[in-house]
A and B are shown apart, each in its own frame.
Chain A
Amino acid sequence: MSAPLKQDIHAMSNTTALHNAAILRNPKRLHWLHSQWLALAALLMTAALAPQAFAASCTGTSALTLTATQWAMVGIPCVPVGISPIAPANVGNVFLFSNPNMTTANYFNGTNAATATWVLWKRTYTGTGDSYTRMAVTDLVETGGAYWLYTTVNGTYRVNGTATPTPFTTPALAAQASGTNRYTLYANPYATNPLNFSALLFPITVPFIGTINFSTAFATSNPTPVPPQSNSYISPEVSYWNGNTYFTRSLTSSPVATFVPNQAAWIKAQPASAAINNQRITADRP
């Protein structure tokens, strides 16, 4: 087959120009052309936005190193997404994205200890004696959730998801007057590092004793959330787990207490903090 001559190319170009002119003169064909352009634009926008919606901010956080046969306190610093955008954000799907060793089949279900490699526990706040609950592999993982993670293999932990709306308020947690209820496992709900302990807000109920008709005592409350340094009910110390034991940091001593994405730490109420009950901790994005 011989190469097209220069005049042939010129003729083809003229033909194309005539064809395009015919389309532009015909309203129906012009409408069809517009629809094609709109479809192409929509396709390009979807392609441009989809990776951002899926990758999002959580993947930009520093991964937490997991050491074999050690416990780690982990957190969810975003709105979690499963292994695909349509997969439910449950334990199996979210943590499989984090680490290929964390498969559903390898998750400890109570009977497969011989083959299991990992498990997740959460703190259950009952108000009468908080305790741990082992999560099922199908349980949903929550934004700002704080969990204990155990693995038998080395690896890393980092969650996939979209940015957490600010401000974020936790569900009702612990931090009550006595017993193990004084401890709340808290995690940075944002992928931003760090979230200072002093930036958390606690809706402290402040007792107030007054009188009605000079005889009746009553109490009222102050629902305005306050930071830990502005009340005497929250301990100034935060406890972290290093894989083997706890260490603490405080509100004032350097390095000050902070919450790093992907990790969790213990917040404690002071003893006899009658004003503390079912805390909902609020934090703005740093």
Chain B
Amino acid sequence: MDVDSKPAAAAHDAAAPDLSRRRFVTTSSKALYLAPTLILLGSATASAQFGSPPPPPGPP
């Protein structure tokens, strides 16, 4: 879809489904993997802070 096709797309807005953020998250198939991914990323960040301490100083 290029820029010229936008008016045509706008003509269908009335019939298009509500694409608000809330509805998108709850109805989109992307939510099937988006939410678990965010949870995993969050837990990975929390876990990383307890990870290995700073290395010894200076070059080996």
Contact = CB atoms under 8 A, between A and B. Distances in A.
Contact of A182 (B43, B47, B53, B60): B60
B57 A266 contact: yes
A241 B55 CA distance: 11
A148 to B, nearest CB: 4
A21 to B, nearest CB: 74
Interface of A: 69, 71, 108, 110, 113-114, 116, 119, 121, 132, 134, 148, 150, 152, 178-180, 182-183, 185, 239, 241, 246, 248, 266, 268
Contacts of B53: 71, 121, 132, 148, 150
A219 to B, nearest CB: 26
Contacts of A180: 55-56, 60
A266 B56 CA distance: 7
B17 interface: no
B39 to A, nearest CB: 10
B60 A113 contact: no
Nearest to B48: A113
A248 B55 CA distance: 15
B60 A69 contact: no
Contacts of B46: 113-114
Nearest to A174: B56
B58 interface: yes
Interface string B4-23: 00000000000000000000
Interface string B40-51: 000100110110
Contacts of A71: 53-54
Given A116-B50, A150-B50, A180-B60, 17 more contacts: A69-B49, A108-B50, A113-B49, A114-B43, A114-B46, A132-B52, A148-B54, A150-B49, A152-B49, A180-B55, A183-B56, A185-B56, A246-B58, A248-B57, A266-B56, A266-B57, A268-B57
Nearest to A244: B54
A182 B56 CA distance: 9
18 contacts: A71-B54, A108-B50, A110-B47, A113-B43, A113-B46, A113-B50, A121-B53, A132-B53, A134-B50, A150-B50, A150-B53, A179-B60, A180-B55, A180-B60, A239-B58, A266-B56, A268-B56, A268-B57
Contacts of A239: 56-58
